[in-house]
């Protein structure tokens, strides 16, 4: 097996993908807010979506179209989520697909719509319609960075990563973008992610791959515990690699290829949490010693989403009692306080449910003052473990969300 793939904050061109962006004035006149991806014929496309029962209109339409046709175009807008808009929202999403199909010479069912932004407002289809002809006429392969910026809402930085993986004689490229800074707890958040590779992967296998990778990356992060109505994570395999053979789990290089896709998604996931609304710290909650991974996840999210823990993170306050209390209310059955251990990175705070002899709060505070650190918690002597990424709650989180629609 090849070594861990190197991920770069850049947009390696993926043969079979062309992109364009334009300012459509969807919410703010000066912002580039509309993005179009053209996908070459024969590509495989798969995705996972929000588990929010009240999913947005574009999610509903995208699911329908994925089942009906082979996707040729993605159309993505920021500034308006087209969620909570009822039958009118579905009509608007389908109209955007129709408009794109006429300009792209494909069926409307081959167009997948995505939206992010304010919930509960009608999509300004007329503004999108006015911007689409220019957009479709200016597609190019090297506009991944433009796309990463066009899909931003409260994000402060674009999120774009690439990796290249050597599989035998063939080098495969993988590039992905994502947006998200608040309303983030993907179970599959207001999160959108689009990842593409030039590898040849059958759709059924691609669907299994995106579900598995998302579960291990995007579904292991939280900013505020809120799952959006619009979450979508799409994986595209164009099949345009020069000497590419069909990739599948029985291939000896499959694990290397999966490692490349996972590395890009992991980098995007970390970037989302690092850019959390008002966040100043990226913290990994690592749980070990559970009987099952599900138990570990339950304990991890109890800590990662605790407002008391998150405000202590912001203050660099090693108030370990808040961590202990969060684990204790997590709902994991059979917890015993004498089994609990807590450490900040390698610095032990709690052993067997009690403070470590010689514990120095000043050392703990110094660790918590850094931009990135781990909270490591053992909950028993089981073999299961997991990690969830979270961030702190600052004054700015409240300000950003209080002023979101102003």
Catalytic site positions:
190
Q: Report the alpha-carbon distance of residue 178 to residue 382 in Å, rounded.
A: 35
114-151 CB burial, b ≥16 within 10 A, e <16 = bbbbbbebebbbebbbebbeebbeebeeebbbbbbbbb
Nearest to 76 by CA among 142, 19, 17: 19
Q: Are 70 and 110 in contact (CB under 8 A)?
A: yes
How far, in Å, are 13, 105, 217, 347 from residue 141 at the CA level?
A: 6, 19, 27, 48
Distance of CA 323 to the CA centre of its chain: 26
The residues facing 167 across adjacent strands are 170
Percent helix, percent strand, percent coil in the chain, to nearest 5: 35, 25, 40
Phi-psi region of 353 (alpha: psi -120 to 50; beta: other; left: phi over 0): left
**Is the Cα dihedral 269, 39, 26, 56 positive or negative?**
negative
Distance of CA 252 to the CA centre of its chain: 28
Phi-psi region of 343 (alpha: psi -120 to 50; beta: other; left: phi over 0): beta
Nearest to 152 by CA among 42, 266, 26, 43: 26
Q: Report the alpha-carbon distance of residue 348 to residue 330 in Å, rounded.
A: 22
Radius of gyration of the chain (CA): 22
Q: Work out the angle at residue 209's Cα, subtended by the Cα atoms of residues 238 and 8, and round it to the nearest 5 degrees.
A: 65
């Amino acid at each position: 097996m090849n070594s861990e793939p190197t991920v770069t904050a850049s947009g390696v061109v993926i043969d079979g993908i062309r992109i364009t962006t334009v300012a459509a004035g969807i919410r703010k006149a000066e912002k580039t807010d509309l993005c179009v991806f053209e996908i070459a014929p024969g590509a495989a496309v798969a995705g996972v979506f929000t588990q929010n029962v009240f999913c947005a209109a574009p999610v509903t339409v995208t699911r329908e179209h994925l089942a009906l046709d082979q996707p040729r175009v993605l159309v993505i807008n920021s500034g308006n989520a087209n969620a909570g808009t009822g039958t009118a929202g579905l009509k608007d999403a389908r109209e955007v697909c129709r408009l794109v199909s006429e300009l792209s010479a494909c069926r409307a069912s081959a167009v997948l719509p995505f939206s992010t932004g304010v919930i509960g407002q009608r999509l300004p289809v007329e503004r999108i319609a006015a911007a689409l002809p220019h957009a479709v006429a200016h597609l190019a392969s090297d506009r991944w960075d433009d796309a990463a910026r066009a899909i931003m809402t409260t994000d402060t930085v674009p999120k774009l990563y690439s990796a290249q993986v050597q599989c035998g004689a063939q080098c495969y490229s993988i590039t992905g973008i994502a947006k998200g800074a608040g309303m983030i707890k993907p179970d599959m958040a207001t999160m959108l992610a689009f990842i593409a590779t030039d590898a040849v992967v059958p759709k059924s296998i691609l669907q299994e791959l995106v579900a598995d990778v998302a579960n291990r990356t995007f579904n292991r992060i939280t900013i505020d515990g809120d799952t959006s109505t619009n979450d979508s994570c799409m994986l595209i395999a164009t099949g345009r690699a020069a000497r590419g053979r069909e990739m599948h789990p029985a291939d000896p290089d499959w694990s290397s290829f999966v490692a490349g896709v996972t590395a890009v998604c992991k980098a995007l996931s970390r970037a989302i949490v690092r850019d959390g609304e008002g966040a100043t710290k990226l913290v990994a909650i690592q749980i070990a010693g559970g009987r099952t991974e599900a138990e570990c996840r339950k304990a991890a999210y109890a800590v990662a989403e605790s407002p008391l823990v998150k405000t202590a993170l912001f203050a660099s306050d090693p108030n370990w009692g808040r961590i202990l209390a969060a684990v204790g209310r997590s709902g994991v059955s059979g917890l015993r306080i004498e089994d609990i251990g807590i450490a900040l990175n390698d610095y032990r705070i709690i052993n067997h449910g009690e403070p470590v002899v010689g514990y120095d709060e000043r050392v703990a505070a110094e660790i918590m003052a850094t931009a990135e650190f781990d909270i490591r918690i053992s909950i028993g002597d089981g073999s299961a473990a997991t990690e969830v990424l979270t961030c702190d709650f600052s004054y700015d989180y409240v300000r950003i969300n209080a002023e979101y629609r102003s």
